[in-house]
Amino acid sequence: MTIKDFSNQLQIPDRGTQEYEKRRVEELARYRIVDSEPEEDFDRLVALTSRVFGAPLACVSLVSDERIWFKSKLGFDATEVPRHGAFCNATVNSGGSFVILDATQDPKFAQNPLVTGDLSVRFYAGAPLISPAGLPIGTLCILDHRPRGSFSDSELQSLRDLTNMIMDRVELRYAKIAKRDIEQRFYRVAVSLGEGVVCADTEGMVTFWNPGAEACFGYTANEIIGRPFDELLMTGANVGGACSLTNLSRQRLQEPGGYLVELEGCRKTGENFTLEACYSGWPDGDDFHYTVIMRDISVRKREEEKIHFLAKHDPLTGLANRIHLRERLRQATMRAKRDRTQMAVLLIDLDNFKEINDTLGHACGDKILFDVAKRLKECAPADSLVARLSGDEFAIVLDNLKDPGEAREVSNRITTKLAKSPFISCDKQFYIDGSISVAIFPSDGDSVDELLANADLALYRAKEMARGNHVFYCPEIRNSLERRRNLETELRRAVAEKEFELFYQPQVRLSDCAVVGAEALIRWNHPQRGLLAPAQFLKVLNGGVLADEVGQWVLEEACKQARSWHDAGYPLRMGVNLSPSQFRNSDLAVMVDQTLDKTRLSPDMLELEVTENILLGHDDRTAQILGRIRDIGVSIAFDDFGTGYASLSHLKRFPLDRLKIDRSFIRGIAVDPEDATIVKAIISLGKLLGLSVIAEGIEKSDQISVLQEQGCNEVQGYYYGRPMPSELFEEFISTSGHCLVPEVHDQRTVA
């Protein structure tokens, strides 16, 4: 940059002013590039940009006063568009990089013709082409028909690096145009250029040598002028070949833009380096003059190689990334089809890795991921591809399988290798298992997408099982998923059509056999399958988006019923089960309070039941929510107590009023001394902590006798009554006089 250019840059008007826009348009006009013919170097860089970012559309745009003209484009046919409302206009006006993850969600661009028209553009990312004067003359941008969830800082930097390369081409193009001016002006400009400029005569002897050439090669003008130009080229392939001045087509050298080539130069020190050279020439009578504009692109080539590497590899582990994996899978499936062989893809997901990241931070997690990658490479055959797909998910492509047993052997090696020794990070030891899925080509999918989709399904199944499992895909996995999806659809209909109903099971005080409470239990009146118990749909319901809505309905319906029984003279405590999803809502306590107000139910008549998986999943936050519910006056029962590994710690951490002994211990209490001992210990523990104890699953009179001897407070089970609709429950307690006689309990149970 000249002193004058630098001075002008310091005097750039404020962005957005008329003077700024005038200067910007003048700067663009200076390059004489708008409405120029297509050029291979620009097309090549646009194609590179498309490949690097996996974008189907890419372009170099130049923003004039009223229109945007595309110097090079990929994926669409338009040569220009109006400037107003265009994506690239927003990039130029912003002065920096500009990203729209989903244009249909952006009010400024949702109605843009590129979004609403045939191209259906959803994603856009652009970086400005900044001239040496500091003015944006256009953009390099990528577009996609699909929205993207993010565009990282590293991706933005890569886009800016490519933009610099484009601007380098613009500047080099400008330099080549300037060369065609009168000789005096050419020499003045050539001396000031950063690129190396060399002129030679008809015999290929150097006649002009600028400071840029001296910087490239290390020779002064006095040392090189009068010597053959070919001495500057690396000894061997270049000399006497296509890059030798006297061997070049003179007609080609006189074409606009000259002849652009990459070649190997040789410095004065003997070091070889990569040059980008633009050869041109012009006749002068019987003589012919040559000009070569050269740039040392060694650093840029290394950066390009780095960009190419990062485009296909994970920067943390050095493994292939998802893009590289899909390319390898395409090649492997084509080869397997041709050779009639098999290949496999393995997906590996680390179990409980997220907990390490969340508790110790990403630095510790990254160290473990790096070591996991190392172990996976040790387990994989030499000709396989190991990839990292996302945070803690990896993949391996196995070619030329003789039989699926080879994939099982690799899976076993991985499982053993991961579990063999702990991972060391942040001065701590971690034992990490991996869930593994296997899909075989062509039996499990005859395309890359289908193969990966089925491997994902198998991985989902593997993660549902015990840690460290591997699962081969089979059609039943997809069928199971289809059944789950159908059930989810039916559940949506059930909510809309109000197909759910609450049944109630009596809770009995052992001291006088009085009915003191009821547990509300959901049922589904399915239009085709009849009355469904919770076990047939609750897992899917609690794992979906309807869980909160149904949970709130259950609470409100149960509270209404409790109030109705209270008004009829039956003041019973109502037990309602909470789902894990309800604890994701920090306003659960508020919702409970509002429901009590709406139904006019006293808080002491409501008891909310929680299971250990709820307490494990949310910890301190759950304790706060339960504390707020207790402050309202609602009691808390710990359901299925005794089945979890951390139950005792929960008794200390969480505000509880009642323990519900799980039916698995009650079943054998009268015949199994170990069950009897466990139940006795739970009852004693409850008394020591001031907690009431209720036993579930009572079916026989001898179970009652043992529980009475051990001092259990309350019971519930088929022995006293099955879950029943509200009208039958009310009839049940009214005919029993609110007090049950065990000898006649069978007449009052309802299936």
Q: Give rounded-to-5 percent helix, strand, coil for the chain.
A: 45, 25, 30
CA distance 7 to 300: 28
Domains of the chain: 3-166 (3.30.450.40), 180-301 (3.30.450.20), 315-473 (3.30.70.270), 501-747 (3.20.20.450)
Closest CA to 31 of 179, 163, 170: 170
Range with the lowest mean pLDDT among 471-485, 698-712, 736-750? 736-750
For the ranges 266-270, 295-299, 353-357, 656-660, the lowest mean pLDDT is seen at 353-357
pTM for this one? 0.52
SS3 515: strand
The mean of the pLDDT values for the chain is 87
pLDDT for res 475: 87
pLDDT digit string (tens) for 591-636?
Answer: 999 999 999 999 999 999 998 777 765 567 888 899 999 999 999 9
Beta pairing, strands 123-130 & 259-266: unpaired
Cβ distance 676 to 703 under 8 Å? no
The β-bridge relationship of strands 714-715 and 500-509 is: antiparallel
Average pLDDT for 32-46? 93
28, 62 in Cβ contact below 8 A?
yes
Mean pLDDT for the stretch of residues 334-339: 91
pLDDT in the model for residue 608: 96
Before 442, cis peptide (omega within 30)? yes
**pLDDT digit string, tens, across residues 637-675:** 998 776 665 556 667 788 899 999 989 889 889 888 888
Backbone angles phi, psi at 324, to 5 degrees: -65, -40
- Tell me how far apart the alpha carbons of residues 560 and 504 are, in angstroms, rounded to a whole number: 13
Round to whole Å and give the CA distance between 573 and 474: 49
Task: Say if CB 749 and CB 722 are below 8 A apart.
Answer: yes
Percentage of the chain lying above the pLDDT 70 cut: 91
